[in-house]
């Protein structure tokens, strides 16, 4: 009889362990590759948008950047260069450039991605 009682207790404990396992919460995280940064398409401005950007920014009379450094599309801008936020007037007319900063070099408006510090476009009159 004692043997039967021990067998019953073992069976109940085994069933309880299985039930407890079914209630365990498992938390999973998304794989790291799903957290990659998506780069946006290259900035493409129409001639009218370019004219609006250039005329508005040149009219603001900002301090020009160092002309001794060559700033070209794809080049990284040094940290010491002062970048300006887009004027609200330009952002209203050309919303695509809202997130960019700019500087003026040799009568050219150089658009810079502030996240990467790379030149994304150059606007001239």
Question: What CATH number corresponds to the domain at position 75?
Answer: 3.10.450
User: 96 burial class (0-12, 13-18, 19+ CB within 10 angstroms)?
Assistant: middle
pLDDT tier, 4 (very low <50, low <70, confident <90, very high otherwise) = low
1 in any annotated domain: no
DSSP letters, 57-105, are HHHT-PPPPPTTS---TTPBPPTTS--EEPPHHHHHH-GGGTT-EEEEE
The structure tokens 């067998």 sit at 7
34 in any annotated domain: no
67 in any annotated domain: yes
36 in any annotated domain: no
- pLDDT tens across 76-102, in order? 998 888 899 998 988 888 888 889 998
> What domain range includes position 74?
47-123
29 in any annotated domain: no
pLDDT tier, 8 (very low <50, low <70, confident <90, very high otherwise) = low
Quote the pLDDT of residue 29. Answer: 53
99 in any annotated domain: yes
Quote the pLDDT of residue 101. Answer: 93
40 in any annotated domain: no
> What total of structural domains would you count in the chain?
1
6 in any annotated domain: no
Quote the pLDDT of residue 79. Answer: 87
Backbone angles phi, psi at 90, to 5 degrees: -70, -45
- pLDDT tens across 19-52, in order? 444 455 555 555 444 433 334 557 788 888 888 8
Mean pLDDT of the region 98-107? 88
């Amino acid at each position: 009889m004692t043997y039967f009682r021990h067998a019953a207790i073992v069976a109940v404990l085994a069933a309880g362990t299985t039930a407890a396992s079914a209630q365990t919460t498992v938390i999973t995280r998304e794989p790291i590759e799903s957290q990659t940064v998506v780069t946006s398409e290259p900035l493409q401005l129409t001639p009218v948008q370019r004219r609006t950007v250039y005329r508005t920014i040149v009219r603001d009379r900002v301090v020009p950047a160092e002309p001794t450094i060559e700033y070209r599309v794809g080049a990284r801008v040094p940290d010491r260069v002062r970048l300006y936020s887009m004027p609200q007037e330009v952002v209203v007319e050309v919303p695509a450039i809202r997130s960019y900063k700019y500087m003026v070099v040799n009568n050219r408006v150089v658009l810079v991605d502030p996240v990467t510090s790379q030149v994304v476009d150059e606007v001239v009159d």
